[in-house]
Amino acid sequence: MSSPAPRIVIIGAGFAGMWSALSAARKRALAGKADSAVEIILIAPEPTLFIRPRLYENDVSKASAPLADLLAAAGVQFVHGAVTKIGVEEKRLEYTSGNGSTSTLTYTLLILASGSKLFHPQAVVGLAEYSFDADQMESALKLDAHLKSLAALPESLARNTVVVCGGGFTGAEIACEMPRRMRKILGEGVNVRVVVLERGESINFMGPKPSPLVQEVFQELGVEVLTGQTIASIDAEGLTTASGTRIASKTVIWTAGMHASALTAQIPAERDELGRLFVTQNLKVVGVDHVYATGDTAHVAADDQGHLTLMSCQHAMNMGKSAGNNAMADLLGLPQAPYSQPVYVTCLSLGPWGALFTTGWEREISLVKEEGYKLKTQINTELIYPPPPNRAAAFAAADPALQLIA
């Protein structure tokens, strides 16, 4: 009886997982192997890529892309399931399918691309019960439904006030959209208040060069900023800070911080403060022979200057390509290619003002306002979407040498 074919299993259908699958399939084809010679399986709750960088937008109906046809065209099998347990020594996964049943899946090599989630500290009383976020598609739709429901309520300061907890990238993008989003729902003449609460002493997430411009945009859009604030509790009518400040609001949006997928804790290896696994430049987990980590689950340098990758689709896409390529090369005994992504950019959407595009780790300002927004739109609607569902296009786009921005 012949031995079963070796198998690469990829956990996660986000940017890193999708590109890992396509890149592994591309490497398999370049090596002249039939699809059946090395199985590639991607497991996720559903075969859909959710475009998380777009979930701050007013309309998220187009912020997703189906993957079933694309994966099938590339010779990648899809398994519906949420992985609950990783047995590294046994090379076995346990997962729960949509109907609630539990199944197992074995692997030869594993690529962990399960992403990250918004961190909800237990110390904030009422956070889980009364806050909203735009971290996942489900929560973004919940926030949208809540905002629309405000129109049925009598006018009050709490109804008209949105508090954004966290003055980072996501917080800024949401806050700058909220004044016009709320007025579209409640009426143009309504006195809408949008407040950003930041734990630090300033809004400085963009660094010393672009940050003053971001603060000017906040002022122009009427977004208030309160710094040095730690949230103590949230309830149905507002929040209270650790210093005793009370803000009346029926809409508290949490954006403060990301942590890697909880599945990283099941890999017996070192993790950083964000829960990311330390990996080699080939994206293999340090000290674990048969596991690779990529995207938001991996701690790795983006270049030879020591800049660490960020939890962003900009890095996840190319990290996924490298992980898939190197895992397949590892399995076939072929040379690997170290991950490197020296090009770094940011493109921050700032509501009706437009967008701010910067280049380099020093974040030199390149494009602003309408020109920046045009590029942001191109990035969000063209560059980060998967290629058309045919084998040639998928393999061409999965070349790990390609550099994409997002």
Where along the chain do its domains lie? 7-118+258-341, 127-254
Q: Helix 15-30 vs helix 313-332: angle between axes, to the nearest 10 degrees?
A: 30
Report the pLDDT value the prediction gives residue 405, as an integer from 0 to 100. 46
Closest by CA position to 233, among listed 224, 223, 245, 222: 245
Answer whether residue 1 shows pLDDT above 50. no
Give the pLDDT of residue 307. 96
Asked whether residue 169 carries a pLDDT value surpassing 60, the answer given is: yes
Could you report the per-residue pLDDT of 259-298, keeping only the tens digit for each? 999 999 999 999 999 999 999 999 999 999 999 999 999 9
Q: Does the pLDDT at position 403 exceed 80? A: no
CA 190 to chain centre: 34
Question: Given pLDDT bands bounded at 50, 70 and 90, which one contains residue 305?
Answer: very high
Q: Given a cut of 80, is residue 396 above it in pLDDT?
A: yes
Share of the chain above pLDDT 90, in %: 88
Residue 2, pLDDT > 60, answer no
Q: Are 53 and 21 in contact (CB under 8 A)?
A: no
Percent of the chain predicted with pLDDT > 70: 98
Query: Strands 64-66, 48-50: parallel, antiparallel or unpaired by DSSP?
Result: antiparallel
**Amino acid residing at 288:** V
pLDDT for 132 beyond 90: yes
Q: pLDDT tens, 218-268?
A: 999 999 999 999 999 999 999 999 999 999 999 999 998 899 999 999 999
- Residue 192: phi and psi, rounded to 5, are -90, 140
Q: Is the pLDDT of residue 402 over 80?
A: no
Mind listing the pLDDT tens digit for each residue in 135-166? Answer: 999 999 999 999 999 999 999 999 999 999 99
283/401: higher pLDDT: 283
Q: Is 137 exposed, middle or buried (CB count within 10 Å of its CB: 0-12, 13-18, 19+)? A: middle
Give CA separation, 158 vs 236, 277, 318, 378, in Å. Answer: 9, 42, 44, 37
d(CA 3, CA 115): 33
Does residue 101 surpass a pLDDT of 80? Answer: yes
Q: What CATH superfamily is the domain 7-118+258-341?
A: FAD/NAD(P)-binding domain (3.50.50.60)
Regarding the domain delimited by 127-254, which CATH topology (the fold level of the hierarchy) does it fall under? FAD/NAD(P)-binding domain (3.50.50)
Weakest-pLDDT range from 36-50, 275-289, 297-311, 368-382: 368-382
Query: Predicted confidence band at 306 (pLDDT cuts at 50, 70, 90)?
Result: very high
- 221 within 8 A of 352, measured Cβ to Cβ: yes
356, β-bridge pairs = 348
